[in-house]
Every structure is written in structure tokens, then in C-alpha cells.
Homo-oligomer: A and B are copies of this chain.
Amino acid sequence: LDHQVNSKSNVVMPPDGPAVGSPSARPTIAHVAERAGVSVGTASKALNGRGQLKESTRERVWAAARDLSFVPSAQAQNLVRGRSFAVGLLTTDSFGRFSGPVMRGIEDAMGAEQLSLFLCDVRGDAIRERHYVQTLIARRVDGLIVTGRRTDPRTPIAVGAVAPVPVVYAYVRSSHPEDPAVVPDDEQGGRLAIEHLLDVGRRRIAHVTGPTRFLAVRERLKGMRAALSDAGVDLPESLVLPGAWSEAWGREAVDLIVAERVDVDAIFCGSDQIARGISDALRDRKIRVPDDIALVGFDNWEILANEMRPPLTTIDMNLEKVGRVAGERLLAIVGGAEEHGVQKVPCQLIVRESSGSATLRERPSA
């Protein structure tokens, strides 16, 4: 046995693998077995608690493993298990503002099942994407999660049709609607914002938002329309102002609203950044928030929303949950379940001062 173990030392150096760890390579189960005076098979059983073993043997093996600080090689284990217990995370929005929470949620779901995550920053480059997918398939990942920077459909990931790897999309859809995807419920978010503004007595509500080519923009607006129509409140087209995702556009929109002398008592903003621009422009013009105009944002980007004067009431997309659900769906598929279609995670209203729910009680609602 001793000989067998030592034979490891005259193994040739791998061609591209340099001399790392070779001086004192990690102990193998053979070392443990030798030290405990048992066979490798027995050591394996002892360590994994399988089979019928004498208690004393089990303990000897454990002791040996502890002494050598033995950690079994997941590489070898996974080889026989036929799975890698890892999934690939393809991110398009290289660590942008939205990816963070989504990734955290995914990580959460995976951690619960002891799966590891391979991080791949695709950066919107098709070449990189193909390369990464190839690598991940070579690593025999159990599945793929694709995250995006926007919720619009994207061309599906090309994983060979031969031995298909399950794919779940998070904060982005596949253009093939059957592919499992998890996104925030933007329509419900829009509805939520408007219902809140109606609740606090506002009726002349404008919407300053991003470019209409974003699905999110269209869906939030749809939700807004639905809420207003349910309440029997009119929405003149002049009050819907799509533009850009920037503070500058928020400020500009205020110029427009003021120039046109539009009568408005609330603005639903398509993003917190837009809200910030609006808030600043209103203050410049001595228009009070929320007394004159109430504000509701979208994103709950706390570093912005909390610092605003007054702090911003906004819609939280529950991105962490979006990620977690995506992870859970992937795990379900890996476990043999069928998962199809887009799942929407509800948004949540975060009330702060900019919508003046407190102030409003004291004045007659319009």
C-alpha cells in the first residue's frame, strides 16, 4: 500500500500545469485509508456513512481524515456522480445596477442546494457568449442562468440540442416564449404606483418614463392605464412623456410640463433616476414635493431614493426574489420537473415622503 501511495510522487508533470501544490499535494482518501489501516473502500464508506461498519473503524477513519485535514476531491466525486453540481451564470449587464440583487438571489437558491456558480460576464458580445457556453458545457454544468440588463426578449442561448442543458432566464426573456424566464411584473408595478397616488388623493397624474422601445416602459404604462381606468380617472395623452433613463430627461420633462402650464398634482416616474431629476427641477422652481406635486419612482435604488429631498416613494422590483425564483426553477428542472414560460414576480410599493400620504390627509382631496 505504501508503495502505491508513494507512486504518486513520480507522476509526470502535466504539460500545461505548472508546479503548483505538487510539493505537498492534498491528501487523498488512500492516505486516509492507510493511516487508519483500512482499505480505500472502507474509508469511503466510513466518511460517507454508508454500509455497515464497526463503530471503532468509522472513528479511526474519521480521526485519520481529521489528522490529515482531508477534503475529498469534488472533481473525482462529481466524475462518478455524473454531475458537476455547478451552474453557469451568464450575465449580460456586467454587474450593472440590476444584476447585483438578481445574482444575490440566484446565489441564495443555489447555496441552499450546495451548487456552485460559474461567473461569466458576457458583456453583450456574441463571441464571448459562445465561448462561455462552450466552456460551461465542457465543465458539464447542471444548468445555465442567463441574466440581462432589461426584460425584453433576447435570442435564446444556443446550447447544443444534442444533450440539452437546462436554461432559465432572469430579468430577461427568451424570444422563444416557452423558455423559462423570471421577470418583475412591471404592469402590476405600474398599477401599484398609480393606486397609491389615487389613494392619497391625486387625480392629475403624469408619467415621465424611459424609451418606449423598452418592454418595461410599455408594461408599466399599461398598468397605469388600467389603474386609472378602474378608478374612472382620465389620462390625457399629453401627460405621458417617454424619453430617456436619465436625470437630465427628468429635468427636461419638468420644463415641458411647466411651459405647457399643464395642471398636474402627481408624477409617476419610470425610474428613480428620472424622479431625481424631476425632484431637483421642481425644487429649482419652488414647486413643493409632495404638497404641490407628489412623486413616485421606480426601482427603489436606495442610495438615490433615500438621499432625495424628500425621500422618494417608489416601486421595488424585488430583484433578489426574481433571482431566487429563477434559481429555484432551474433546480426544479435539474430535479426532473418541467418548467415553461415567463413567471412574473410582483413588485412592491415602498412608501416614503415624496408621495405625502401623511400630508395629504390634512388637505381636501382634489
Contacts and interface: CB of A to CB of B under 8 A. Distances in A.
Contacts of A71: 134, 137-138, 160
Interface residues of A, number: 73
30 contacts: A11-B82, A17-B82, A18-B335, A19-B336, A20-B333, A21-B163, A25-B82, A26-B162, A69-B160, A71-B134, A71-B137, A71-B138, A73-B79, A73-B140, A74-B138, A75-B78, A75-B140, A86-B118, A89-B119, A94-B104, A95-B95, A95-B100, A95-B103, A100-B100, A104-B121, A116-B120, A116-B139, A118-B119, A248-B307, A283-B284
Contact of A26 (B24, B81, B117, B163): B163
A81 B76 CA distance: 12
B81 A139 contact: no
A280 interface: yes
Contacts of A232: none
Interface in A253-289: 273, 276-277, 280, 283-284
A45 interface: no
Nearest to A103: B95
Contacts of A57: none
B119 A103 contact: yes
A342 to B, nearest CB: 23
Contacts of A117: 118-120
A284 B283 CA distance: 9
A248 B308 CA distance: 9
A16 interface: yes
A353 interface: no
A81 B17 contact: yes
A119 B114 CA distance: 13
A79 B75 contact: yes
